Amino acid sequence: MRKNTMFRLVRYFSVTSFVVFVIAVSFFASRSRIASINDLITVREQSNAELAQVYANIIWADYGEFIASAATLDTDDLRNSPTLAALDTILRTYTAGLSVIKIKIYAPNGITVYSSDLAQIGEDKSANPGFVTALSGGVASELIYRDTFNAFEGAIVDRNIVESYVALRPSGTDRIYGVIEVYDDVTPLMQLVDMRQRRIVTGLVIIFTLLYIILFFIVSYAERILRRQGQEIRTQNAELVQVNQKLHHAHQLAAESARLKSEFLSTMSHELRTPLNAVIGYSGIIIEGITGETNQRTLGMIQKINMSGQHLLTLINNVLDIAKIESGRMELVESSMNIRHVVEDVQAQIQILAENKGLTFNTHIAADVPQAVIGDADRIKQILINLLSNGVKFTEQGSVLLNIEWKNTYMLLQVTDTGIGIPAHAQDYIFEEFRQVNSSSTRTYQGTGLGLAIVRKFVEAMKGTILLKSEVGSGSTFMVRLPLKVETSERSAG
C-alpha cells in the first residue's frame, strides 16, 4: 500500500494541475468577459443617454406636446397620425449612419407613442422597470441578444444590442415629456470582446502549459528520487530484518547457554556439597577430640582442612545461590517477620568475627521500625551477613555498624565500616559476579567475589535498591532500601 502511494506522485500532480488549470482558466476568462461587458454597457449607456438628449432637444419644439398628450389618442388614430409620420422621418434622418438601429418613444403614462415597428404603437410599458427608472430621471440599460430584430432598416439577424431607457427632457427644463428607448447595436464590439477573451484564454493556456511542463519535470525528478530512496529503505529494512533474526537467534543461544551454565553450576555445587560436608564434619569431630588425642601438628593440619572446607562450602553455597537466581528458580519466601530477631541471629555470627579482629561491632534499630513486616527473613539475613562480614573483612581498625530505620514505606538497612574503602572506579563493578577491587593472586583478602552479587540480586528480587558511599582509607557505607509491607494484624510477629 505505502509503496504504491509513494509512486503516484506524478499521477496526483497531473490530475490536480489539470483541475486547477481548468478552474483558473475558466475563472479568469469569465471574470474578464464580465468586466469587458460591464464596461461596454457603461460606455454605450452613456452615449445612448447623450443621444437621447439630442433627440429630446430636436423633437421638443414640434413634437413635445404631441408625445406628452398622445396617450389620450386612440391607437389607430395614433398610428395614422401625420405628426407621427413626420416624427418618424425626422428620427430616421438623424439616426442614419449611427449604430442605433431602432428607437421607441413612450408617453409619460407608458403608452408606446412611436416605434419604427407600427404594430408596437399603443403598447403599454408603464410596468417596465427600465421605463419606470427613466421616468424618474435615471437611465436603465441592458445587453440583450436577438436572433432576428425589427430595426429601422427591416429585420436583421444575430444581434447584440444595448437597450437604454432615457427620459425625454428638453435642455434647461425639468419637464419630462416622455421616455425614449434607444437600441444600440453593439455586435461589432461584442465580437471584439469575444476576440479579446479568446486571446486571454490562449495566453493562459500557453502560460499554464509551460508551467505544467516545468513542474512535470520537477515532480518526475522528485518521484525518481523518492522511488530510489524507497528502494534503499526496503533494502535496508530487509537487511534489518535479517540482522534482527540473527540477533534473536544469538539471544536464544545466549539464554540457552546461560540456562545450561546455571543448571551445570547448580548440579555441580550440589554434588560437591555432600562430600564436603563429610570433610568438614569428620575434621570437626577430630578437632573436638571426640576420636581421642591428636598431636598438635596433626591437629593444626586438620584445622586447616576444616577451615578450607568451610571456605569451600561458603563458595559453593554462593555459587549455588547465584545459579538459582540466574536460572529463575529462586522464589522469595515471604512471611511475617521481625527484623529484630533477624538482627539477633546475625549479631551472634558477626560479633565473633569482629572480636577476632579487635573491631567494635554495634547494631541500632530505630524504635519506630515495625515489629512485624512481610518479608523473606532468610534472604534479608543473608544480605546483612554478606555486607557485615565484608565490613569486618575489609576493616583493620575501628568499627562496623549496622543501623536500621523505618522510612514510611521502606526499611533502610545501613552497614558502615571504617575500613579500606572502595575506589570510585570499582564502586559499580564490585556488584558483578566474581568481581573484586583487587583480584590479583597477591591480594590480601580472601573471597570469591560473589557476596555483593548475591546481595544485589536479592535486593532486586525484593524490588529494593542498594547504594554505596565509600572513600578509600575512610570506610564504606552500604545502604539497602527494602519496600516491605507492615503486618498490621500481628504487630509482634516472631
Euclidean distance between CA atoms 41 and 35, whole angstroms: 10
Candidates 262, 390, 416, 418: give the one binding ligand ADP (CB under 6 A). 390
Compare residues 100 and 420 and give the one whose CB is closer to ligand ADP: 420
Q: Which stretch binds ligand ADP (CB under 6 A): 68-76, 212-220, 226-234, 441-449?
A: 441-449
Using rule CB under 6 A, residue 392 touches ligand ADP = no
Instruction: Pick the binder of ligand ADP from 133, 351, 403, 448 (CB under 6 A).
Output: 448
Decide whether 160 or 386 has the Cβ nearer to ligand ADP: 386
Nearer to ligand ADP, 371 or 448 (CB): 448
Exposed, middle or buried: residue 249 (CB in 10 Å: 0-12, 13-18, 19+)? exposed
Residues numbered 471 to 490 that lie near ligand ADP (CB under 6 A) are 476
Q: Indicate which single residue of 40, 107, 450, 482 sits in contact with ligand ADP (rule: CB under 6 A).
A: 450
d(CA 143, CA 160): 7
- Binding of residue 451 to ligand ADP (CB under 6 A): yes
Q: Which is nearer to ligand ADP, 108 or 447 (CB)?
A: 447
* 134 part of the interface to ligand ADP, by CB under 6 A: no
Contact flag: residue 436 with ligand ADP (CB under 6 A): yes
Listed ranges 109-117, 144-152, 363-371, 442-450: which one lies at the site for ligand ADP (CB under 6 A) = 442-450
Question: Distance between CA 218 and CA 211 in Å, rounded?
Answer: 11
Instruction: Indicate which single residue of 179, 420, 466, 480 sits in contact with ligand ADP (rule: CB under 6 A).
Output: 420
Mask of contacts with ligand ADP, 337-376, x by CB under 6 A? ----------------------------------------
Q: Does 391 bind ligand ADP (CB under 6 A)?
A: yes
Write down the least CB distance from residue 464 to ligand ADP, Å: 17
Provide φ and ψ at 5, rounded to 5°: -55, -40
Kindly tell me which residue out of 323, 437, 459, 462 binds ligand ADP, with binding defined by CB under 6 A: 437
Does the protein bind ligand ADP through residue 417 (CB under 6 A)? yes
122 binding ligand ADP? (CB under 6 A): no
| Ramachandran area for residue 289 (φ above 0: left; ψ -120 to 50: alpha; else beta) | left
Q: Which is nearer to ligand ADP, 303 or 436 (CB)?
A: 436
CA dihedral 219, 222, 226, 232 (to 10 degrees): 150
**Rounded distance between C-alpha atoms, residue 257 and residue 251, angstroms:** 10
Nearer to ligand ADP, 102 or 393 (CB): 393
CA–CA distances in Å: residue 200 to residues 18, 43, 211, 260: 18, 22, 16, 86
CA distance 434 to 445: 14
User: Cα angle vertex 434, ends 430, 439, to 5°?
Assistant: 80
Minimum CB–partner distance for residue 452 and ligand ADP (Å): 3
- Provide the minimum distance between the beta carbon of 492 and ligand ADP in the complex, in angstroms, as a whole number: 33
* Residue 312 CB, nearest approach to ligand ADP (Å): 13
What residues between 91 and 110 interact with ligand ADP by CB under 6 A? none
Nearest to 461 by CA among 429, 478, 483: 483
C-beta of residue 446 within 8 angstroms of C-beta of residue 469? no
Whether 58 and 170 have beta carbons less than 8 Å apart is answered as: no
Whose Cβ is closer to ligand ADP: residue 44's or residue 456's?
Answer: 456
Interacting residue ranges for ligand ADP, rule: CB under 6 A: 386, 390-391, 394, 417, 419-420, 422, 430, 436-437, 447-453, 476
